[in-house]
Amino acid sequence: MKRTEFTKAGLVLIFLAVFSTSGFAGNDNTSPGTSLPATQTQGEVAFLSGGIGGDESEAIKKEAISWPLMLELAQAATPRAEYIGDVPVTISDESGKIVLDTIAEGPFLLVKLPPGKYSLDATYQSIKLYRQLNIQKGQHEKLTLIWPAVR
């Protein structure tokens, strides 16, 4: 009897191990060997942010071409700019309606916006940068925002 109980318990553990490593509840935009962060949505806008670590950075850069907008966030430094994260980003449409209000978790933010004109605000260390965007169907735009160096 004890042997049967052990066997049942062992089978349950094997079953759980197989399903927990199979990607059953995983990220739907990753395939084996990639390190893309999860895609999120706000209303009709899809986005993902990250880029901390080499694998994730490279995965985002490869994926970026299929997204209408890629933001690259950095701060001026010597000898060259350094990537930053935890940057609040707001994108508004032409009528002023906010279509995305998020915090870029790493130096890259990919955004799927419908074609149109938008305004973008991003804040880092109390300094706000503004940009106007014109997203065109079938095109990819990369926008690099560089904040001034720390004094």
Query: For each of the chain's 151 residues, which pLDDT tens digit applies?
Result: 444 443 333 333 333 333 222 232 233 444 445 589 999 999 999 999 999 888 999 999 999 999 999 999 999 999 999 999 999 999 999 999 999 999 999 999 999 999 999 999 999 999 999 999 999 999 999 999 999 998 7
d(CA 71, CA 77): 19
Contact criterion met (CB below 8 Å) for 104 and 73: yes
Continuous H helices in 21-129: 54-63
pLDDT value for 24: 25
pLDDT value for 34: 58
Contact criterion met (CB below 8 Å) for 68 and 135: yes
Burial letters for 42-73: b for 16+ Cβ neighbours within 10 Å, e otherwise? eeebbbbbbbeeeebbebbeebbeebbbbbbb
How many Å from the N-terminal Cα to the C-terminal Cα in the chain? Answer: 73
pLDDT value for 23: 30
Listed in sequence order, the residues at least 6 apart from 139 whose beta carbon sits closer than 8 Å to its beta carbon are 68
pTM over the 0.85 mark: no
DSSP 3-state assignment of 40? strand
pLDDT value for 25: 29
